[in-house]
Amino acid sequence: RAEEALKNIKGVDEALAKTIINEIVDNGDEVFWDDIAGLEAAKNSLKETVVYPLLRPDLFSGLREPVTGMLLFGPPGTGKTMLARAVATQAKATFFSISASSLTSKYLGESEKLVRALFVLAKELSPSIIFVDEIDSLLSSRGDGEHESSRRLKTEFLIQWSNLAKAAAGSKNAMDARVLVLAATNLPWAIDDAARRRFVRRQYIPLPEDTTRRQHLGHLIRHQKHTLTTDELDELTLLTEGFSGSDLTALAKDAAMGPLRSLGDALLTTDFEKIRAMGLEDF
């Protein structure tokens, strides 16, 4: 499908278009809602704002016309990127995963051309989601001391983004050009005012609550040999208050190393079956 898109696009350098496809179009593992513990409010908001309009554009017109920008913000490690991947999987959309480095070029004027190629390809390969992780690094507030090339890059991105209004569901080309800019940040206040205004929908992704941490811990250890009881898991849940999802994953990974760590050099000659199970003392 990508090769067909390259033949159809006009006014875009083919080499730049190939760069976008090779480096930015994400073909990673599928992520499903059940893979993400908790965050029910965020999931429902994403379904309503992104998934349903992409799958049923005929229902979203007039006042129900979908937005072209949604921002996920909150503390680091709370699952913002995982949510974006889940959205792409559920919406059966082309997933463009970009960052500031993806669109920055050492050649004068090429960054703007990359931005234009990105949006043209997104429309051609629609339904598409342009996911910008750490968007504050790409669209930070513009200032007097800013480099001219950086200013031009931001301006071009905002212009192309504004043009997406014509591609929203409910327009004449709704079935052919469904594109959404989905972004994540830990620093929403650092985003340029003009960019922040375009994020009509904004969803806060909080640190996990007790039930979510309990669910996440259970999910992490389900394939690992362990001796943890229900009470011990409940104790771990209380002890990890304030942990993010990535913090819990790092904790579980370190705990899984406990049985091997206790063997020292003996692990080189110990049979796999004789390695003890992971327990509460490893956390």
Binned at pLDDT 50, 70 and 90, residue 7 comes out as: low
Residue pLDDT, tens place only, 11-51:
677 777 777 777 666 656 788 888 888 888 999 999 998 88
Tokens 């922040």 identify what position? Answer: 196
pLDDT at 185: 92
Instruction: State percent of the chain over pLDDT 70.
Output: 84
Look at residue 145 and tell me whether its pLDDT is greater than 70. no
Per the CB < 8 A criterion, the answer to whether 243 and 251 are in contact is: yes
Going by their DSSP bridges, the two strands 69-73 and 201-204 should be labelled as parallel
Angle in degrees, CA 249, 241, 204, rounded to 5: 80
User: 28 CB contacts (<8 Å, ≥6 apart)?
Assistant: 85
Residue pLDDT, tens place only, 186-223:
988 989 888 888 898 999 999 988 988 998 898 888 88
Q: What's the whole-number average pLDDT of the chain? A: 82
Count Cβ neighbours within 10 Å for each residue of 14-37 and write b for 16 or more, e otherwise. Answer: eebbebbbeebbbeeeebebeebb
Most confident segment among 8-17, 85-94, 172-181? 85-94
Taking the whole predicted model, whether its pTM rises above 0.85 is answered as no
Count Cβ neighbours within 10 Å for each residue of 155-177 and write b for 16 or more, e otherwise. Answer: ebbbebbeebeebbbbbeebeeb
Residue pLDDT, tens place only, 218-260:
888 888 888 998 999 999 999 999 999 889 999 999 999 998 9
Tell me the average pLDDT across 167-171: 48
pLDDT at 169: 43
Cα–Cα distance measured from residue 66 to residue 195, given in angstroms and rounded to the nearest whole number: 17
241 Cα distance to chain centroid: 24
Q: Give residue 9's region: left, alpha or beta (phi > 0; psi -120 to 50).
A: beta
pLDDT at 8: 63
User: 68 CB contacts (<8 Å, ≥6 apart)?
Assistant: 161, 164, 165, 167, 168, 179, 180, 181, 198, 200
- Domains observed in the chain: 2-204 (3.40.50.300), 210-282 (1.10.8.60)
